[in-house]
Chains A and B, each alone.
Chain A
């Protein structure tokens, strides 16, 4: 049940968690779309400052949001970066963040294509 890299079952699950209101889900997607680029920018800034803690928190947040909204690949990329931060060293953080930025843009685009009204609870 995947569409343009988005796991629709995750979105249905999210819809169930928030009580089934489609308008609420749209609001959540809009909130994600507004915040995801900010989180990527925070990762880039943290990398430039060599701040592993900040990098970990931004990766953690994007991981969690991406998972909720069905951007599974993006979520996995963020989880990997978060884990490396936790262990204390990130190999080629710039490259990892660039990959995340690309995937985030793709996921956001894919999400914008999702017709929320078609999700409906089964």
Chain B
């Protein structure tokens, strides 16, 4: 059972080394030799050995020194050492060696049967000790897995029980059951969390759509009161900036910005505040409103393509199908409202595609480059402020500045409402991208289109058509199919199993 063990013979005497090596090989073991204590320790630290046959009297590092070094080293202390001694005059040395941790001793003029018996006994003990250590290592592994679950943050992968659970013994079965139950809890919690995330995300998508969808209606009302788009945008951005920065300041969250942060906010302001705004102004004059709404909804596919290319989110056929279902819903309701009056030509339709493109770039920028240390309100406030500064020279140049106040008229109230609406929609959208990812958030374009129609109908006292209701259903199915981007695969459990166990045992003791 202990045949084929690896034995190290340590003796300064060459003839003795040779004799011991031959004797050990004769018993069917592998033998290596070391000519002094230093060579012995070096060999033991570089190769695994099952036993050591050690001479005591050696120049330099003697047998006692080697024993002390071995027993002080946790990785070597379990290797059994048999000291070789001439019993007649070295009894004291043998006693000392055994006190230092030697397993056994062997007289110099040993009988091969005695060598076999003592080496065999030591190797058997070593084998049991190795098995015991392996068992405790596995128990420790299982305990660590339990601690991971207890810590409250886990996924089945980080329990690292696969190898242990494959073993066909009691501990292996325990590990398999433990892992199975942990996986069940994990799956259940994950489903629950995804459902909550889906609900929260969907509500946010609808909220963004509702707030955003209000803007065109308010714009039309403001336009009727003599405002112009650029001047209006300047006021709206300025008011939104003041509101957001005031909230951030009240919460003590005004950030210190580095150059990298400033670059991000400037890029965001240029895309959202200038490019989107200007494209909207130019395109609305040439493209029919319902067609434009449909084009804007294409941003979902653009975000999906960008996110897939940049590996920001998972790009599955299911998510693409979800976007398509939402688009069908929106297209159906817009189709009933198309007015083919010859206003839209191919070139302007192509330019109109820039609008969803800018929305998509904004979404991806927010999802991938956002400086996480900057507060949500402060972020939106800074962007709005920067875009107001960027729009101001254009408004001055085109003479589109919109003088307001000091008296409070209907226009002032409308502009204030639009500022609040602008701030709210971007805050909600920003939060939505942070929690559900850019692809899911892009579906707010569908909600916005439908909400715009609903707001318009409410203002005009029209009935909501059955097609519009069907579109809402399509959009909801789309939301379900796209599902929010899971931010974290680790489950967080807020449970304290250990203290419950201790309480339980405490009660037991009291009884």
Contact = CB atoms under 8 A, between A and B. Distances in A.
Q: Is the interface of A mostly helix, strand, loop or mixed?
A: helix
Nearest to B17: A31
Contacts of B108: 64, 67-68
A24 B26 CA distance: 11
A64 B12 contact: no
A16 interface: yes
Q: Is the interface of B mostly helix, strand, loop or mixed?
A: helix
A68 B12 contact: no
A54 B22 contact: no
Nearest to B89: A83
A15 to B, nearest CB: 10
A21 B110 CA distance: 18
Contacts of B112: 16-17, 19
A9 to B, nearest CB: 12
Interface residues of B, number: 22
Contacts of A63: 86
Interface string B45-72: 0000000000001110000000000000
A106 interface: no
A12 B112 CA distance: 12
B13 interface: yes
A35 B14 CA distance: 8
Contacts, number: 64
Contacts of A53: 59
A24 B115 CA distance: 18
B23 A31 contact: no
Interface in B77-126: 86, 89, 108-112, 115
Nearest to B84: A64
Contacts of A19: 22-23, 25-26, 112
A28 B19 contact: yes
Interface residues of A, number: 28
B75 interface: no
A4 interface: no
B499 interface: no
A54 B108 CA distance: 20
A67 B15 contact: no
B203 interface: no
B89 A18 contact: no
Contact of A28 (B18, B57, B110): B18
B470 to A, nearest CB: 94
A14 B22 CA distance: 10
A6 B112 CA distance: 22
A17 B16 contact: no
A117 interface: no
Contact of A64 (B13, B26, B111): B13
A39 B19 CA distance: 17
A32 B15 contact: yes
A67 B89 CA distance: 15
Interface in A26-42: 27-28, 31-32, 35
B22 A86 contact: no
B18 A68 contact: no
A65 B13 CA distance: 9
A108 interface: no
Contacts of A68: 15-16, 19, 108-109
B33 to A, nearest CB: 12
B86 A64 contact: yes
A67 B109 CA distance: 8
Given A16-B112, A17-B110, A65 B57 contact: no
Given A17-B111, A67-B108, 12 more contacts: A17-B110, A17-B112, A18-B22, A19-B23, A35-B14, A57-B12, A61-B12, A63-B86, A65-B16, A68-B109, A82-B89, A83-B89
6 contacts: A17-B23, A19-B26, A21-B22, A28-B15, A32-B15, A83-B89
Pairs of residues from A and B, 5 with the lowest C-beta to C-beta distance, nearest first: A19-B26, A18-B22, A61-B13, A65-B15, A32-B15
Interface of B: 12-16, 18-19, 22-23, 25-26, 57-59, 86, 89, 108-112, 115
